[in-house]
Structure formats: structure tokens, C-alpha cells
Amino acid sequence: MSTLFSFHRLAARLGAANRRYVAGGALLLLCLLFLLDIGSGTSISFSPFYTLPVVLVAWRLGRGATTLAVLGASAARVADFYLSRQHDSATMLVYDLLQSAAGYGLVALLAWEGRMLVERTARHAQNFRRKVRRERHQRRLKASIRRAVVDDVPTIIQLTNSGGESGAFDQTVMDAVRQAALTATFSQGIIDGAATRDLWSGGQSTVPIEFWVSELDGQVAAYMMVLGVDGNKGPERELHAVAVAPAFRGSGIGSAMVNFFCTVYQQRRLVAASKAGSQMADMLARRSFQTVANDKGYQIMARD
């Protein structure tokens, strides 16, 4: 494992190295190996080591530079062979040159494939780590969701007011008188599990009501209000409101609340209303909600 980690570190450093430095280093190494090869005479051949500059260039530089490196290594090997030994024909010279080019070309191809493999492995590892972090974060967000209690109502009212300021809710929720009425309604709804609501079809009815909150780092980060659609306690449930504290926006908690709603009430017909083109409308559309009606600037969406 440590060897693999060291290899990945070396590959990463080579990948980040300046291309000019790599080209210069490879050329210097090739020249040094050629001089050693010439100086050693016929007793020692350094031809296998010509693969080093070829690999270096193939790993970091493009095809053109790799082709030059292969030709340079081939020429160095053949030049040493013919300077140190007697050969009888130019045909053998060409044969040796082509043979060397094929060998070093294969090495370059293997190096290039190795680089591709390392890069793919690094991408997969990065994607896997990102997926693990995302799933861990989503589990943490899901675990933070609980049923609201009466003591949560003041914070729920604050979040509702914040939603009014951001334009997510009707501006009337910021009125002091309306907030006092909401405080009483929400508190009683949490206690009784029922509340009076305006129906989309007109009129009013007493329907089931549930409040859920997400508590992160010791504070309520978001809340969700779920209502029955009619007074017969039928199978439909409406995601009536979702509000996220400004400090937690962008953390994914809003999406987690919607996912929670879809999971907990998955056996029911789900309904939600949002402003057309809003982030909530897009979020619902990604979860297979379909627009069934439009009313007073709101897009009514449902999922069976």
C-alpha cells in the first residue's frame, strides 16, 4: 500500500512538473546515457536504460515529443552498436533502427497507457471520496430531522419571517399581528396534530398538520410543515412550507427535508405548491412531481 501511495505521489509530482523542465531533463538523461554507453565499449550496454527518458517524455509530454524521444533513444542505441562493433551492411543498420524504434515505441505506449490508468484511478478515487462525503453528509442531515415540539415554535416563526424577507413566503408573514396568530396556530397544531386551513378548492377545513425540524449543531436549522389536503384525513399530504435558516442555506438541508417528506409519506399522494421557476419547483420536478394546476402565481405539483 505504501509503495502504491509513493507511486501515486511520484506520478502526481511528475504530472505537475513544468513541461520544459521535463523535456530538458529527458534530453540530458538521454545524452548522459549515450556517453556512458560509448565510454563502456562493448562490455556493457546501456540500451535498456534508454527507456527512462522515453517513459519520462511519454508520461508528461505529447505525442510529438514522445516520437522524438523514441527516435532519439533508437538512434543512440544503434549509433553505440555501430561505433563499437563491426557490421556488414546498411540493411542491418536500418533493421536495427526499426527494431529499436519498435521496442522503445512499445515502452512509450505502455507508459502512456499507465498514465491514463493512473489518471482514471485518481478520478475514480476522487469521485468515490466525494460520494462518501456526500452520503455521510446526507445521513447526518437525515438524522438531524425530528418532530417539532412547542419549544421550537419561536424559532419556526423566526424562520418563517426569514422566508418572508427572502421572498419565499408571502410578505404578510412578517406582520407582527400575523406572527402572533401563527405562533398560537403552530403551537396548537403541534399539540393537537390538526389545524384549520384554506383549501385550494375554496373554503376551509380542519386537516392533519405535522411539523418537522432539522437540528444541527444545537440549533434548529430548518423546519417543514406538512398538511392534509382535506378534512377527511385522506391519503394526500401537502408539503406546505419549508424554511432554512440563512446560516445553513446551501448546506443541502432543504433538499434533505424534501427527501424526508417524499420518504416518510411515500405511500400517499404528495402535493406541493411553489412559485413557478423557483428552486423549490426544480427540486420537486427532479423528484417526479408533475404540475397539475396554477393558482395565484403558484405552481401546484403532485406525485402519485
Which grid cell sits at 239? 408539503
* Pairing mode of beta strands 270-275, 290-295: unpaired
* CA separation for the pair 71, 97 (Å, rounded): 9
Ordered structural domains, the chain, with CATH:
2-140 (no CATH), 145-303 (3.40.630.30)
* CA separation for the pair 241, 168 (Å, rounded): 9
Beta bridge partners of 147: 212
Walking along the chain (304 residues) 10 residues at a time, the average pLDDT comes out as 51 68 87 84 79 88 88 86 68 82 90 87 91 90 93 93 78 82 92 85 84 93 91 80 91 92 92 85 92 84 90
* CA separation for the pair 229, 203 (Å, rounded): 12
* CA separation for the pair 298, 241 (Å, rounded): 13
* CA separation for the pair 291, 192 (Å, rounded): 32
* CA separation for the pair 79, 87 (Å, rounded): 12
* CA separation for the pair 107, 279 (Å, rounded): 53
* CA separation for the pair 32, 68 (Å, rounded): 17
Beta bridge partners of 237: 228, 270
Residues 6+ apart with CB under 8 A from 163: 169, 173, 241, 243
pLDDT at residue 84, as a whole number:
67
**Secondary structure (3-state) at 104:** helix
